[in-house]
Structures are given as structure tokens and as C-alpha cells.
Amino acid sequence: MTETPPTAPDPYDYAHPNPPDDTHLWDLYGVAQVLGLRYRTIAAGKRAMPYREKQIGRGQKTRFYSLESIIEWDKMRDTRLLDDEGRQRILTDTDGRTWVDGKRVYTIKDAAEYLDMTHDALRARIYRMKKLDADTYLPAYKVGNRYSYYTQEQIDTMKGER
């Protein structure tokens, strides 16, 4: 059985229904959905993105963002969440497997299960070995401080070193 990665959602699915003009624009909630982040996470970095304001009520204004400004903001980050078309790079399929750029990747917990180790034992091993063999023990993909992903090649190398 061949594994096929899931397809990324179209960023235009999250566009605001009533933008200030006829172009596709996103409010902050839509930006969070395009990036695959929580609203609170994206609210911290919103000042760096160019925006347009629209009066929505008595004294209330809403900021709208274009897809180009979202992509440019993402390019300034250490770890990119979007490709150049604005689609998410990190996807999870219906079985809970994670894919980055169409390649299957594993969390530390999944890697520990595959290596028949405990999660804590693998974390200790990574801590000890990451300076000696960075290509194998540093995560191939990292999203902020929270998520680290390892490729199948890295896990196979770890398994061979046991």
C-alpha cells in the first residue's frame, strides 16, 4: 500500500466574505486558518504584516490582510509554514500521520515507538547525541518550540546506531 500525502486546503477557502473591496482578503481569524495556527499565536505577529482597515461599525475598524502579505510575513519566520502559493506545508491526514512538503515525518513520540524505546529514553539520547551527529539527531523540521519532526532516513540511521 502506497502512502499518499493529503492535499493542502486552498487558502481562498478562508477568505473573508465581506472584504473592503472586490479582492480576496483575510481577517485575522482567516490568517490563522491559512497558516494553520491558533488565533492567539498569530495575533502576536500581526504588526509585521501590511493591512487595510475597514470601518465595520460605529467607531470599530477591522484589519484585512492580502495573501501576498501573509506569504511575505511567513518568509520572515525561522520555519516556514506556507509554500510560495500560500498552501500549508505541514499537513496531518485522517489517520493522524504528519506530512511536510509531501514527505512522511514523525514526531519524537512516533519515532520512539518505531525504535521500540520509551519517549524519555529517546529524548535523553537525542540530547546526548545532537552535538556529535547533528544531521541525524536534530529535527529535520521544527515548528516553533513546540513541534519537531524527523524523517524516515533519520529514524533508520538512529535504529542502525543502536
Model confidence over 104-158: pLDDT tens digits? Answer: 999 999 999 999 999 999 999 999 998 899 999 999 888 766 788 999 999 999 9
- Residue 1 — very low, low, confident or very high, per pLDDT cuts 50/70/90? very low
Are 5 and 11 in contact by the 8 Å Cβ rule? The answer is no
Are 34 and 14 in contact by the 8 Å Cβ rule? The answer is yes
Model confidence over 46-70: pLDDT tens digits? Answer: 667 778 887 767 777 778 888 888 8
Q: Where in the chain do CATH 1.10.1660.10 domains reside?
A: 98-160
CATH annotation of 98-160: 1.10.1660.10
DSSP single-letter state for residue 88: B
Residue 3 bridge partners (DSSP) = none
pTM score: 0.76
